[in-house]
């Protein structure tokens, strides 16, 4: 008779239920953590083939070194060492449009393009190329950047991209989104006049969309992956801090100029 | 020649390194997500036995239904549906001393007690009971609650506790922290005059400490686990929101009384 | 010779400078807090007339009772009572597109419309009405809602709106944004077929734009105002908590249905 | 008949009430923003003398240049420029024990010391010195640092401290907390063997306690003050970003060393 319907979990004095299963009896020791995360969002248990691709995506997105997000988490720990949750939250809050957003934006762009076509998804490369030509041309005309295309560091190719594609193919979950994304990779140089790499974050978005996740959930997985990376940074910061040195550098190198 | 030493990850134009390994070549498709999280914090790869216990802990802590943390995440999405990272961060910020803190506090209490003993850790139950008697008696004298003891809902026993202990024993990672925690379970009724359950969050803290994690990292794992649960809540909120109904209920049931 | 240019503040062993002034000697005791906030963002000190409107806007936006944002802050305190900054941050994170965003969105809509006109801003009501007719018609054709129009509770008129407008007029800072917003209020019923109130958040956005603030700074003031309101809620929650009762209600009224 | 009692605010179709007053009719245009913040937490309107000290405290705490908190907010904006609330929240989350916590910790230390004395507060300097000698001696014996004593930059004296004390004295709100804090300033050199400055954050905590605020609310005011400063940094970052340069510096200066 409740007002708030949920299918995630509940508990009473003697039992804890998660996703319709007895947590201690049926899940703990039987389900991996990545598997549980998939299940919680997809509302279905992944096959082992799907899980392999999904975990590879999470591993691919977990860390990229001393990013703005990792530095922000470390500086937050400098000021509030007692609040791990604050440092983690600060790091995740940088996971917006410019960095982690790519995963979602790319998945959305591909899903929208596929949905805009009447009938079923294309079945041969020529049809995917045709659709890709339309997308890239429209983006060029509107002077929009295509999400997933280009990388500030991996200009010659993001090394994560072929691995995701290979794993998806091996696992039988290579689908319309990855296929369209590869087509964009093929056709864009002729239209844009330069060759940009398909970046890893975008490829991960395409793979997650091929796994059947709604596009509005994709950024969440990028954040979950990044949570593991940030815990690594936070643990390292606890052992051997760099936050105070970054602060000192910025403070020492600041150039104060009163507005006139 | 850098100023900021890190052992987590870095990348250059052609490669991405994580934990000293080539991310695309050696980790993606080879390492599970839970495994990577362990490795990032512990700075060593877990054995499969360790990993089984570790993932069971993460699964045990992932969700506990519509907790304050889950409700806060959902209400934040009500106000800022465009910012998944904001909703997730709001949910994690409730992971403080009263809820998720138990995992860390219990691990710390056990580690401190073991460290306070001269010589190696006890080897028989009688010695653990003796140490436990001292801890419980001191807490009672100081009118402190012992972290990990008692649960608001699972008053007769937290169903996660025996599963964690069994998995740790089966996997060969049952160590001094879990053993001392079990001793506290045996001796406290005679001292406190009532029988309290060893709760799941505390047991998870003991198990993580037995896996060798420094106590200051334990809350981080509770937060990682909770991230997966919160993503489930956020995805459900996107499909079938309850935030507006909670808001309406609170607003309608509010009783405004001007201060006099 | 620093790399990081800033005009906000700096300090050395003997002095603290803020906005080019000696903080202890020239600002403390001489500048109000609202005045300082204006100055920090506008990079110029407000006149007393401007300040009166600015503070009225902050007062107008400070609180609206037990909103999702206030409830989220209180629930976060339930879980982490030791972290005031976490509870405040959680409350602010709900200040997104749906609630506090209106202030910025309305200011931006008005500024964009004024910027789209060649030549100087209109000077008589007829010209403002003409521009307003274009904006409302375009929004209707595109099936967009106009930010600042309509309110879920104050359906017959937001009582803050006429006060902001009157204060702006009295203070001599009633400008093109408020004037265009009022024109929208006049012309929209004939175009949309129903009469919607100009809401307070939108009016505040128009007033801030008339004060000369860039539109990308407007949400920040809504957040500053809300910070004061949230501190009131947090202090009340510390004295007389409702978070546990909200949690209990939601938990008790939850309806768990396993997905099938 | 509501379940959730509140004395902050509520609204219905025609009116908005805040603190028992009609918001548009009695507060907007009549109450300053700092005044409202005082009132929301204290539940009483300040006198103009109290308000002068209170606003000077907020001005004193608003900014201290490119602190870890300001850098974290700017880096968060680098990653998520669309989410002002995320950048602000990230900045506030660094307002923990090490920086902003001093205001609360110092107020609490003084309030606890005064409460520990039987009878009314001391009335002459000799009695305050006696109490201060006890506090400093106990802290020294326990090897605790006294909050509010010492500053990393203003080693010879924090220039905010005498101004707060003078304003409090002029306004007639110089009370037991500031008086005890000054006594600590007089007596500690003989006990500790070195002279440390009374820092500004601690002095602000003493002044807020003298204004009658409960100690658990003090950190909130430090956060409110910092919100204004962070909005200044965020607006400057929008105009003339330094986040990308900080990121580039850290990345370029990082020294990756695989764990062995």
Q: Which residues of B244-256 are buried (b: 16+ CB within 10 A; e: fewer)?
A: eebbebbbebbeb
| Model pLDDT for residues C144-194, shown as the tens digit of each residue | 999 999 998 899 999 999 999 999 999 999 999 999 999 999 999 999 999
Question: Chain A contacts of D67, Cβ < 8 Å?
Answer: 79, 247
pLDDT at B102 over 70: yes
| Model pLDDT for residues C111-144, shown as the tens digit of each residue | 999 999 888 888 899 999 999 999 999 999 999 9
ipTM of the complex: 0.95
Residue D38 sits at the vertex; the CA angle it makes with D36 and D39, to the nearest 5 degrees, is: 65
Query: What pLDDT sits at residue C1?
Result: 44
Asked whether the beta carbons of residue D217 and residue C235 sit closer than 8 angstroms, the reply is yes
Using alpha carbons only, how large is chain D's radius of gyration in Å? 21
Classify the phi-psi angles of D147: left when phi > 0, otherwise alpha if psi is within -120 to 50, otherwise beta: beta
| Model pLDDT for residues A54-67, shown as the tens digit of each residue | 999 999 999 999 99
For residue D95, name the pLDDT band (cuts at 50, 70, 90): confident
Of A27-41, B83-97, C135-149, D19-33, least confident by mean pLDDT is: B83-97
Query: What pLDDT sits at residue A99?
Result: 74
Pairing outcome for strands B9-11 and B16-18: antiparallel
pLDDT at D23 over 60: yes
C-alpha distance from A44 to closest chain B C-alpha (Å): 12
Q: H or E segment at D10?
A: strand D9-11
Query: What pLDDT sits at residue A260?
Result: 60
Pairing outcome for strands D4-6 and B254-256: parallel
Report the DSSP beta bridge partners of residue A198: A149
DSSP chain B: --SEEESSEEE-SS-EEETTEEIIIIITTTS-HHHHHHHHHHSSPPPHHHHHHHHHHHHHHS--SS-HHHHHHHHHHHH-TT-HHHHHHHHHHT-STTTTHHHHHHHHHHHHHHHHSSSSPP-SHHHHHHHHHHHHHHHHHTTPPPTTB--SS-TT--THHHHHHHHHHHTT---HHHHHHHHHHHHHHHHHSS--PBPHHHHHHHHHHHTT--GGGHHHHHHHHHHHHHHHHHHHHHHS--HHHHHHHHHHTEEE----
Which of A17, A83, A258 is closest, CB to CB, to C256? A17
Pairing outcome for strands D16-18 and D21-22: antiparallel
List phi, psi (to 5°) of C205: -60, -40
Question: A245 or D258: whose pLDDT is higher?
Answer: A245
Integer angstrom CA distances of residue D26 from B211, C59, C163, D23: 62, 11, 11, 6
Q: Which residue has the tokens 């990682």?
A: B224
Whether C99 and chain B come into contact, CB under 8 Å, resolves to yes
Longest Cα pair distance anywhere in chain D, in angstroms? 69
Distance separating alpha carbons of residues B62 and A229, to the nearest angstrom: 18
Query: What pLDDT sits at residue D121?
Result: 83
Distance separating alpha carbons of residues B200 and B188, to the nearest angstrom: 17
C-alpha distance from A122 to closest chain B C-alpha (Å): 28
List phi, psi (to 5°) of B126: -60, -40
Which chains pack against B, by 3+ Cβ pairs within 8 A? A, C, D
Contact D183, D131 (CB under 8 A): yes
Question: Minimal CA–CA distance to D24: which of D4, D39, D9?
Answer: D9
Whether D127 and chain A come into contact, CB under 8 Å, resolves to no
Asked whether the beta carbons of residue A90 and residue D95 sit closer than 8 angstroms, the reply is no
Distance separating alpha carbons of residues B152 and B140, to the nearest angstrom: 20
Asked whether the beta carbons of residue D43 and residue B259 sit closer than 8 angstroms, the reply is yes
C-alpha distance from C258 to closest chain D C-alpha (Å): 30
Distance separating alpha carbons of residues B204 and B223, to the nearest angstrom: 13
* Mean pLDDT of all residues belonging to chain B: 94
Distance separating alpha carbons of residues D216 and A239, to the nearest angstrom: 31
pLDDT at A1 over 60: no
For residue C260, name the pLDDT band (cuts at 50, 70, 90): low
Integer angstrom CA distances of residue B248 from C67, C97, C152, D193: 9, 19, 12, 61
Asked whether the beta carbons of residue C97 and residue B87 sit closer than 8 angstroms, the reply is no
Question: Minimal CA–CA distance to D203: which of D183, D182, D225?
Answer: D182
Residue D120 sits at the vertex; the CA angle it makes with D119 and D124, to the nearest 5 degrees, is: 120
| Model pLDDT for residues D209-226, shown as the tens digit of each residue | 999 999 999 999 999 999
DSSP C203-252: HHHHHHHHTT--GGGHHHHHHHHHHHHHHHHHHHHHHS--HHHHHHHHHH
Distance separating alpha carbons of residues B232 and C53, to the nearest angstrom: 44
Percent of chain B residues topping a pLDDT of 70: 99
pLDDT at A100 over 90: no
HEC string of C73-103?
HHHHHHHCCCCHHHHHHHHHHCCCCCCCHHH
| Model pLDDT for residues C46-96, shown as the tens digit of each residue | 999 999 999 999 999 999 999 999 999 999 999 999 889 999 999 999 887
Contact D114, D123 (CB under 8 A): no
| Model pLDDT for residues D194-210, shown as the tens digit of each residue | 999 999 999 999 999 99
Residue C18 DSSP SS3: strand
Whether C173 and chain D come into contact, CB under 8 Å, resolves to no
Asked whether the beta carbons of residue B89 and residue D85 sit closer than 8 angstroms, the reply is no
Distance separating alpha carbons of residues D208 and D221, to the nearest angstrom: 9
Sign of the Cα pseudo-torsion (D218, D224, D228, D234, in order): positive
* Mean pLDDT of all residues belonging to chain D: 94
Which of B80, B253, B259 is closest, CB to CB, to D3? B253
Asked whether the beta carbons of residue C76 and residue B68 sit closer than 8 angstroms, the reply is yes
Distance separating alpha carbons of residues D219 and D223, to the nearest angstrom: 6
List phi, psi (to 5°) of C194: -155, 160
Distance separating alpha carbons of residues C236 and D8, to the nearest angstrom: 8
Whether C25 and chain A come into contact, CB under 8 Å, resolves to no
Query: What pLDDT sits at residue B119?
Result: 83
Which of A13, A58, A223 is closest, CB to CB, to B154? A13
Question: Minimal CA–CA distance to C192: which of C141, C151, C129, C130?
Answer: C141
């Amino acid at each position: 008779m409740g007002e708030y319907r949920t299918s995630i979990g509940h508990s009473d004095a003697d039992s804890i239920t998660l996703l319709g299963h007895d947590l201690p009896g049926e899940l703990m020791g039987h389900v991996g953590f990545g598997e549980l995360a998939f299940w919680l969002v997809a509302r279905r248990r992944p096959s082992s083939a799907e899980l392999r691709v999904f975990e590879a995506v999470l591993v691919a997105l977990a860390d990229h070194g001393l990013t703005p997000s990792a530095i922000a988490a470390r500086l937050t720990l400098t000021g509030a060492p007692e609040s791990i949750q604050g440092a983690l939250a600060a790091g995740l809050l940088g996971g917006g449009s410019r960095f982690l957003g790519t995963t979602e934006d790319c998945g959305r762009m591909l899903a929208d393009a596929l949905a805009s076509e009447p009938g079923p998804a294309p079945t041969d490369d020529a049809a995917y190329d045709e659709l890709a030509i339309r997308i890239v041309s429209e983006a060029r005309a509107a002077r929009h950047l295509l999400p997933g295309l280009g990388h500030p560091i991996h200009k010659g190719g993001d090394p994560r991209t072929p691995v995701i594609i290979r794993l998806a193919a091996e696992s039988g979950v290579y689908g319309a989104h990855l296929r369209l994304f590869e087509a964009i990779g093929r056709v864009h140089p002729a239209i844009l006049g330069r060759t940009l790499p398909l970046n890893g974050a975008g490829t991960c978005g395409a793979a997650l969309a091929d796994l059947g996740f709604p596009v509005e959930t994709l950024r969440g997985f990028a954040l979950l992956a990044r949570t593991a990376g940030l815990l690594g940074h936070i643990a390292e910061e606890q052992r051997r801090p760099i936050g105070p040195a970054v602060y000192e550098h910025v403070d020492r190198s600041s150039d104060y100029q009163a507005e006139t």
